[in-house]
Amino acid sequence: MTSNCETFEHTADVGLKAQADSLEELFCALAQGLGNYICPNSQVRKNQSRPLTVKADDLESLAVDFLGEVLGVVQFDHFLVAEVHVSKITDTEIWAQVIGEPYDPTRHEISAEVKAVTYHQLQVARQDDKWVANVILDI
């Protein structure tokens, strides 16, 4: 399994740039990258999980909607992300588990607040033998 995700600056926003061998790994990398941007994954224990099932019209919309659901778990459930596991993905639906724990102000440092996942300069594509994605986050 080879995947990675890094952030890049974009005017008043920040972007996630990921690449992976498979579509499942790509979506995991994006979700973990989002979680890590908000609170470093190294601070988050892997002792609980939250199931997510997301449907969308196409693969790009699925990426935005899925990351929006992960962001919702963080914002509304106060549940921080350590890992994400995708059990199944199609061009229009994803089944995943968000692994982590509830926010604890005595142990977790929130690095950034993300307002939304945007469609601006969105890319999810197969390039050569890799899957690649760019997603801009509104901060």
Length of the chain: 139
Q: What is the pLDDT of residue 11?
A: 65
Q: What is the pLDDT of residue 82?
A: 97
The residues with which 14 forms a beta bridge, in sequence order, are: 9, 137
C-alpha to C-alpha distance for 90 and 24, rounded to whole angstroms: 9
The residues with which 132 forms a beta bridge, in sequence order, are: 19, 125
Q: CA 55: distance to chain centroid?
A: 15
Give every residue of the chain whose pLDDT is below 50, as ranges: none
C-alpha to C-alpha distance for 39 and 61, rounded to whole angstroms: 25
Q: What is the pLDDT of residue 10?
A: 58
Q: What is the pLDDT of residue 2?
A: 75
